Amino acid sequence: MRYLPKSPVERQEMLDALGVNSIEALFSSIPEAYRLKKPLNLPGPLSEAEVIRYFEARGAENSLGYSSFLGAGVYSHLRSVVTDAILQRGEFLTSYTPYQAEIAQGTLQAIFEFQTLMCQLTGQEVANASMYDGSTATTEAVLMAERVTGRRRVLVARSVHPEYREVLRTYAKNSGLTVEEIAFGVKGTLDINGLKSALKEDVCAVVVQSPNFFGAIETLAPVAEAAHSAGSLLVVAVAEALSLGLVKAPSEADIVAMEGQSFGLAPSYGGPFVGVVASREKFVRQMPGRLAGQTTDQNGQRGFVLTLATREQHIRREKATSNICTNQALCALAATVHLTLLGKEGIREMAEQNLAKAQFALGELEKIPGIRRSFPAPFFNEFAVELPRSVKMLNAELLKNKIVGPFVLGSAYPELSKHALVCVTETTSRAEIEKFAGGVKAALESPL
Amino acid sequence: MNEKIRKASRHTNQNEGLIFEKSSPGKRAFELPPLDVPAVDASKALGGAYRNEGVEGFPEVSEIEVIRHFTRLSTWNYAIDLGMYPLGSCTMKYNPRVNEYVARLAGIATEHPYQPQELSQGCLKILSMLEKCLLEITGMDAITLQPAAGAQGELTGLLLIRAYLQKQGNPRKRVLIPDSAHGTNPATAVIAGYEVENIRSNADGQVDMAHLHEQVNEDVAALMLTNPSTLGIFEQQIPKIAEILHAHGALLYMDGANMNALAGVTRPGDMGVDVMHLNLHKTFSTPHGGGGPGAGPVAMKKILEPFLPVPILVEKEGGRLALDFQRKESIGRVRAFGGNFGVLVRALAYILAYGPGVRQATEDAVLNANYIRKGLEGTYDLPYTRPSMHEVVFSDAIQKKHGVNTMDIAKRLIDYGFHPYTTAFPLIVPGALMIEPTESESKEECDYFIDAMKAVAEEAEKNPELVRTAPHTTRVRRLDEVRAARKPVLRWKPSVKRSEAAD
């Protein structure tokens, strides 16, 4: 086997050195009855070329050659080849969690830079070294708010990503937290009056997403004011992190939970992505996950270490702030490299292109009789429209033209059964948008 | 340095500041294609939400500077690609490059989790194939690939147990965890709503059955067992432990972190385990990447299947695969979307490359651990002498006499060109040296490692100060962790701001 560096002779030499006759002897501590008597029934072994052929064949059974107008928490953006070149350096790819700081300064400094970039984007004072994704980051942010406030009621906007809310419910169920949902208003943003009437002195966190699941940008100041006046923390989830290139940082938030997939990570059928929790500095000791901090060595030279580890499971066990151990470090590195490549001008230009293309797409769709924008709130690269007929039927028609249509909002919001969530990024060409609009028009004109 | 050591040490590298310190206004490393639709006045479109200026503090550098910056940083890391990385319990094995290649293929990396299932058959086939392989390897009945890492797998497993017990009328109160367990086990049990009860290990490093008998009753939901234990010892009483738990209506959870000792040789499902997680970033070779991403699939017996997280993968007529979201008894979701799909792709690529030969990897891993044990026995104290599986745990008891502890030895090992073993874990061994070579090391590399460990032991005796102040050859010396924690500096700030903040 090509991955194994031993010849049969060497194996025998090693067995001889151990004074045993056969490899079987080394497994003698496993009761005989439980030792497998025959080989596992697994496909393979495959050579490298066969492995590649297998996955190429699977790739050909997917959506190659289709244009897509799906976002809803996972976005297609340009990625420089430089990012993958750096990620594939074995020194980053094949290293472990940087517990031995002297020989992990590369990873540690990169995490420190990641934390800095995340603070700059979110307007928060501290950011952690990553969480699994935006959904678990949001959940962990709520658990953090619970620890800070000692309260157990959570108010979450219905306009937060439906799957983020599902994850929150899964975790909350057994943590003694009660989760209540706050409706969205006609603008597509949080119903502030609904929030105010639900807010009491027992609420640990108010959770909103911005841009929210409908693409609408929330007005955070009044939400923060309402939350804070009840002594609650404001948790802001960000699922499309690129929006922060053009949209004000959610600095009113006490905790920001962000999905960083837009920064150099491919959609990859849902993962691996990179979540992050950022917050005010005074809450740092309640933060989940790893943190890299700056220090010096005995010669006074600057260096970095994992720090404040007394929050973590390997030290605190059942009293830890979270059970997270393995995080998404390499994905955080991808985001760091990607954002460094984009830089101050690049992220703004990319964000501007998203806005311009989404506005263009909305304009094209609004020309079609029977289509109207669902919500008037400002949006970034995603918006909802109401159609005169079922979105599923429309999508089936679009598919015939090699177009993956918009997200069917009715699948998560029964009251929005004829509404579609359209996403357009800088990777969508004008021609694709026009073809899409043409396809929508034709589909709506065709007899039922 | 000892002349007997043949392993070359690493060259030192130039200094490299933070990327923010290299920034200069107007430089850029990325250009976009020109906008092909009319530009939009963002301040009008976004109104009050408009961010007036660019992101303050964001770096402005050129492409070559980005490449140099991160390449230089990379050279400060140790990596499997450079040499042996014998971190016990972490299974730092070779990460095949073809796995990276296939995970990035067009048609694989480009797929959106919400695209129609008829356009996702390739992705679903990959998931289905991986499910079947992992079920065969573990001997279990059903599996979810959704958990993002081992700790989330643990939580998923405990939530399954909770849902199962709840259905019978009582979710129960306590989870039993041996004192040798990973810290994630107790941390997870608390999130799942359970109290943690520690179970002692006996003098052989096995579960103390008397203590188990004392603790187990109808309040106990489950026992979380790592097998082989973190001492690298196979828990021989596992069928008996399962029997005792089952007699009280409790279930047996197995932490599969150490599956690299078992794959192809024995199956947890045959030994009475009800539910377990696998760390694909350990046994199944997906890269650790400096701390993640991982994947923590959870395999289970039939009785837990109704409670699987949604969605689950189902086969329809004609072999078409589909995702089923309608599961009344499901514990819900533990993560948005399907899971760390790119990691799952890599794990399947690994399994396909080995096929049934995965047993050979297990055999080599166990052979290496025992070979190193044999080479170092006598030089280092071996507190538990039962047969080792894929890792061996020594203690620093001999070197302690000279004022040298496990951390010192670990740091000195760096000077010999190796990554340290795991220090001070498991907690039941004071001053532990936990060594897991994996199957990826040749006899030659194992010999070098034994040489280096012996040389350090000799130094500990003759020149303990040299060991206590190690490492001596790294770019930075031992770092001041106390200072880092006392006044945390967790981000870069422009120096102007820093002087303001100092007041």
The answer to whether residue B28 is domain-embedded is: no
Confidence (pLDDT) at B9: 45
Is the confidence at residue B497, as pLDDT, over 90? no
Nearest to A320 among B49, B187, B336 (CB): B187
Residue of B47, B66, B124, B179 lying closest to B344 (CA atoms): B124
Which chain B residue lies closest to A364 (C-alpha atoms)? B37
B346 shares its domain with B389:
no
User: In which band, very low, low, confident or very high, does the pLDDT at B136 lie, cut at 50, 70 and 90?
Assistant: very high
Q: Is the ipTM of this complex over 0.90?
A: yes
Confidence (pLDDT) at B503: 33
Find chain A residues with C-beta within 8 A of B94's C-beta: 3
Whether the CA torsion B200, B204, B205, B208 is positive or negative: it is: negative
CATH of the domain at B377: 3.90.1150.10
B171 shares its domain with B252:
yes
pTM here is: 0.97
Check CB contact of B331 with chain A, cutoff 8 Å.
yes
Confidence (pLDDT) at B14: 61
Give the distance from residue B446's alpha carbon to the nearest chain A alpha carbon, in angstroms. Answer: 10
Q: Are B80 and A94 in contact (CB under 8 A)?
A: yes
Q: What is the pLDDT of residues B26-58, one digit of tens each?
A: 999 999 999 999 999 999 999 999 999 899 999
Find chain A residues with C-beta within 8 A of B69's C-beta: 340
Is the confidence at residue B60, as pLDDT, over 60? yes
Check CB contact of B58 with chain A, cutoff 8 Å.
yes
Check CB contact of B419 with chain A, cutoff 8 Å.
yes
CA distance A268 to A276: 19
- The domain total for chain B is 2
Is the confidence at residue B237, as pLDDT, over 90? yes
Q: What is the mean pLDDT of residues B119-127?
A: 98
Please name the amino acid found at residue A252: E
Give the distance from residue B210's alpha carbon to the nearest chain A alpha carbon, in angstroms. Answer: 21
Q: What is the pLDDT of residues B260-309, one digit of tens each?
A: 999 999 999 999 999 999 999 999 999 999 999 999 999 999 999 999 99
Check CB contact of A424 with chain B, cutoff 8 Å.
no
User: In which band, very low, low, confident or very high, does the pLDDT at B215 lie, cut at 50, 70 and 90?
Assistant: very high
Q: Are B191 and A171 in contact (CB under 8 A)?
A: yes
The answer to whether residue B54 is domain-embedded is: no
B417 shares its domain with B305:
no
B342 shares its domain with B403:
no
CA distance B481 to A160: 39
Nearest to A247 among B49, B66, B188 (CB): B49
Find chain A residues with C-beta within 8 A of B488's C-beta: 126, 284, 291, 293, 307-308
CATH topology of domain A81-338: Aspartate Aminotransferase; domain 2 (3.40.640)
Instruction: Say which residue the tokens 């043949």 belong to.
Output: B6
The β-bridge partners of A37 are: none
Find chain B residues with C-beta within 8 A of A63's C-beta: 107, 110-112, 115, 119-120
The answer to whether residue B203 is domain-embedded is: yes
CA distance A84 to B33: 20
Please name the amino acid found at residue A406: P
Confidence (pLDDT) at B424: 85
The answer to whether residue B463 is domain-embedded is: yes
Which chain B residue lies closest to A12 (C-alpha atoms)? B367
Question: Could you tell me which CATH class the domain A67-78+344-445 is placed in?
Answer: alpha beta
Whether the CA torsion B488, B493, B494, B498 is positive or negative: it is: negative
Give the length of chain B: 503
B156 shares its domain with B296:
yes
Q: Are A348 and B54 in contact (CB under 8 A)?
A: yes
Q: Taking the C-alpha atoms of B181, B182, B188 and B190 in order, what is their torsion angle to the nearest 10 degrees?
A: 50
Q: Going edge to edge, which strands form the sheet with B195-199?
A: B142-144, B298-300, B275-278, B251-256, B220-226, B174-178, B195-199
B83: Cβ contacts below 8 Å, ≥ 6 apart: B7, B417, B418, B419, B445
Check CB contact of A303 with chain B, cutoff 8 Å.
yes
Q: Radius of gyration of chain B from Cα atoms?
A: 26
Is the confidence at residue B500, as pLDDT, over 60? no
Which chain B residue lies closest to A14 (C-alpha atoms)? B371
The answer to whether residue B500 is domain-embedded is: no
B422: Cβ contacts below 8 Å, ≥ 6 apart: B87, B88, B89, B90, B432, B433, B434, B435, B436
Check CB contact of A151 with chain B, cutoff 8 Å.
no
Question: Between chains, do A5 and B120 touch, taking CB under 8 Å as contact?
Answer: no
Find chain A residues with C-beta within 8 A of B71's C-beta: 86, 89
The answer to whether residue B295 is domain-embedded is: yes
B248 shares its domain with B195:
yes
DSSP B188: H
Give kind and range of the element (H or E) at residue A305: strand A302-306
Confidence (pLDDT) at A220: 98
**B157 is written with which tokens?**
């497993």
Q: Are B291 and A129 in contact (CB under 8 A)?
A: yes
Confidence (pLDDT) at B499: 37
User: In which band, very low, low, confident or very high, does the pLDDT at B501 lie, cut at 50, 70 and 90?
Assistant: very low
DSSP output for B193-238:
T-EEEEE-B-TTSSB-HHHHHHH-STTEEEEEEESS-TTS---TTH
Question: Between chains, do A170 and B270 touch, taking CB under 8 Å as contact?
Answer: no
Find chain A residues with C-beta within 8 A of B36's C-beta: 429-430
Confidence (pLDDT) at A315: 86
Whether the CA torsion B284, B286, B292, B294 is positive or negative: it is: negative
The answer to whether residue B146 is domain-embedded is: yes
B307 shares its domain with B411:
no
Check CB contact of B150 with chain A, cutoff 8 Å.
yes
User: In which band, very low, low, confident or very high, does the pLDDT at B502 lie, cut at 50, 70 and 90?
Assistant: very low
Instruction: Write out the residue range of the structural domain in which residue B453 sits.
Output: 358-483
Residues of chain A with pLDDT below 70 are 448
Find chain A residues with C-beta within 8 A of B58's C-beta: 117, 120, 339, 343-344, 347
Find chain A residues with C-beta within 8 A of B39's C-beta: 352, 356
Check CB contact of B110 with chain A, cutoff 8 Å.
yes
Question: Between chains, do A116 and B491 touch, taking CB under 8 Å as contact?
Answer: yes
Give the length of chain A: 448
Nearest to A56 among B96, B105, B439 (CB): B105
CB pairs A-B closer than 8 Å: 685
**Using omega within 30 degrees of 0 as the cis cutoff, is the peptide bond preceding B228 cis?**
yes
The answer to whether residue B159 is domain-embedded is: yes
Q: What is the pLDDT of residues B434-486, one digit of tens each?
A: 999 999 999 999 999 999 999 999 999 999 999 999 999 998 999 999 999 99
Whether the CA torsion A178, A179, A185, A190 is positive or negative: it is: positive
CA angle A43, B389, B438 (to 5 degrees): 60
Question: Between chains, do A329 and B290 touch, taking CB under 8 Å as contact?
Answer: yes
Nearest to B121 among A61, A125, A135 (CB): A61
Check CB contact of B113 with chain A, cutoff 8 Å.
yes
Question: Between chains, do A91 and B77 touch, taking CB under 8 Å as contact?
Answer: yes
Give the distance from residue B61's alpha carbon to the nearest chain A alpha carbon, in angstroms. Answer: 7
Question: Between chains, do B148 and A330 touch, taking CB under 8 Å as contact?
Answer: no
B352 shares its domain with B454:
no
Give the distance from residue B429's alpha carbon to the nearest chain A alpha carbon, in angstroms. Answer: 15
Does B125 or B10 have the greater pLDDT score? Answer: B125
Q: What distance lies between CA A197 and its chain's CA centroid?
A: 31
If you average pLDDT over every residue of chain B, what do you get? 94
Question: Between chains, do A1 and B50 touch, taking CB under 8 Å as contact?
Answer: no
B253 shares its domain with B372:
no
Question: Between chains, do B55 and A120 touch, taking CB under 8 Å as contact?
Answer: yes
Question: Between chains, do A344 and B60 touch, taking CB under 8 Å as contact?
Answer: yes
B277 shares its domain with B367:
no
Residue of B57, B76, B73 lying closest to B65 (CA atoms): B73
User: In which band, very low, low, confident or very high, does the pLDDT at B238 lie, cut at 50, 70 and 90?
Assistant: very high
Q: Best of B234, B323, B337 to disrupt the A interface by mutation (most A CBs within 10 Å)?
A: B337
CA distance A213 to A194: 18
Find chain B residues with C-beta within 8 A of A126's C-beta: 488, 490-491
Q: What is the pLDDT of residues B145-190, one digit of tens each?
A: 999 999 999 999 999 999 999 999 999 999 999 999 999 999 999 9
B310 shares its domain with B373:
no
Give the distance from residue A236's alpha carbon to the nearest chain B alpha carbon, in angstroms. Answer: 14
Find chain A residues with C-beta within 8 A of B294's C-beta: 326
- Reduced 3-state DSSP string for B310-362: CCEEEECHHHCEEEECCCCCCCCCCCCCCCCHHHHHHHHHHHHHHHHHHHHHH
CATH of the domain at B346: 3.40.640.10
Which of B356, B379, B411 corresponds to the end of one domain?
Answer: B356
Q: Are B90 and B327 in contact (CB under 8 A)?
A: no
Q: Are B212 and B241 in contact (CB under 8 A)?
A: yes
Confidence (pLDDT) at B24: 95
Question: Between chains, do A92 and B110 touch, taking CB under 8 Å as contact?
Answer: no
**Using omega within 30 degrees of 0 as the cis cutoff, is the peptide bond preceding A45 cis?**
yes
User: Which of A:241-300 have CB within 8 Å of B?
Assistant: 244-249, 266-272, 284, 290-299
Q: Domain extents for chain A?
A: 67-78+344-445, 81-338
Q: What is the mean pLDDT of residues B327-339?
A: 96
Which chain A residue lies closest to B350 (C-alpha atoms)? A51
B348 shares its domain with B430:
no
CA angle B274, B280, B286 (to 5 degrees): 175
